[in-house]
Structure formats: C-alpha cells, structure tokens
Amino acid sequence: MHKLTIAGVICGAVSSLLCTIAIASPRWLAGDLDFAEVYIGLWTNCSKDYKTGHEKCGVKDVSPDWILATLFLEMAGLVLIFGAVLLETVHVFIPRYNHDAGKMPGLYAITSGLCITVGAIIWAAKYKGDELLAMCHLSGAFSLAIISAVMSVTAGSLFIMGWRAQPREHSYMAL
C-alpha cells in the first residue's frame, strides 16, 4: 500500500467521524433570543430558558425543505466517504484487483466532499430567510461539516494520487 493511500484512509476516516458528529449535533445554529438560548440542528431543536435555567430539546416533527435537503446531502456525503474508506481498505487486503477500479474510492470521496459542501451552502444561505433563525449564528456542527468536506476532498485526492503511483500490471493476449 502506498503512503499516499494510507494518508487518504486516515484522512477519510477522520472525515467520516467529523461528519457523523456534525449530523448528530444540535448546534448547527446558536443564538441568544430575548427569552432563551437556542441551539438548532438537523434533527433537533434545543432551548435553555433564561428565567428557569431549564433546558428542553425535542426532535423536529416537520422541517422545511431546505433543512431536509441539507440533511439528505450530509447523509449522502457520510455514506460516500465511509464507502470510499471501506473500498480503499478492502483493496489493501485483495492483492489482485482491477487496477481501473482503484480510482473509484477517490471519486467517491471527492463526491462526498461536494455533497457535504452543497448541503452546508444550502444551510448557510437559507437560515437567514427565516425571521427567528436570522437572529442566530452558524455554530460548531456547521464548522465540523465544512472541515469534513475539506478532508473528504483531500482523502479523495490522496486516493487518486496513490492509485496513480501504483505500478500497473499489463496483461498481453497470447497470439
């Protein structure tokens, strides 16, 4: 296994972890409203009442289409980067595989980074359109998603560079 491929697997694994944390976190947006501190995520909304100090979280019953689109793209990105890391790891243990298939994990990882980026762009562009949400600011989970996207593209690039650095086996047809 080439050193670039090992670096790509590590980068992709970290990207998978960060993307999982970002998706699960209720802190894509955070804000201080007049009555409470609010945290909003892809799955849940949380608020902490200033008067009582009581924190309340709940799963969203209905979400706007842009939140669902962000959730879909973030999940697609997570599945793609996880699949890319899994495929590249499997290639290590199978000594003879189709060399042309070696570029697929790189393409999956780059596509993952693009999905995560587009999901984050939708989130950042649309939350300002909501009157209540416009008083909030982007928070930690959003940052994790951006870092995950960059690491996915980096992992994909490393996978492709590692694939190109491997010697190719040539097979010639007997005449």
Quote the pLDDT of residue 171: 46
- The per-residue pLDDT for range 151-168, each reduced to its tens digit, is 999 999 999 998 888 766
Centroid of chain to Cα 153 = 10
What separation, in Å, do the N-terminal and C-terminal C-alpha atoms of the chain show? 34
Q: Would strands 29-32 and 137-138 be described as parallel, antiparallel, or unpaired?
A: antiparallel
- The per-residue pLDDT for range 8-46, each reduced to its tens digit, is 999 999 999 999 999 998 888 888 877 788 888 888 888
b/e per residue, 103-123, with b = 16+ CB within 10 A?
ebbbebbbbbbbbbbbbbebb
Least confident of 35-39, 47-51, 59-63, 133-137: 59-63
- Where is 25: in which H helix or E strand? none
Residue 130 has a CB neighbour count (10 Å cut-off) of 15
pLDDT reading at 56 higher than 50: yes
Q: How far apart are CA 112 and CA 8, in angstroms?
A: 14
Task: Please provide the DSSP assignment of 136-155 as one string.
Answer: SEE-HHHHHHHHHHHHHHHH
Percent above pLDDT 70 for the chain: 85
- Of 46, 85, 80, 74, nearest to 146 by C-alpha is 74
- The per-residue pLDDT for range 99-118, each reduced to its tens digit, is 566 788 999 999 999 999 99
Q: How far apart are CA 127 and CA 119, in angstroms?
A: 12
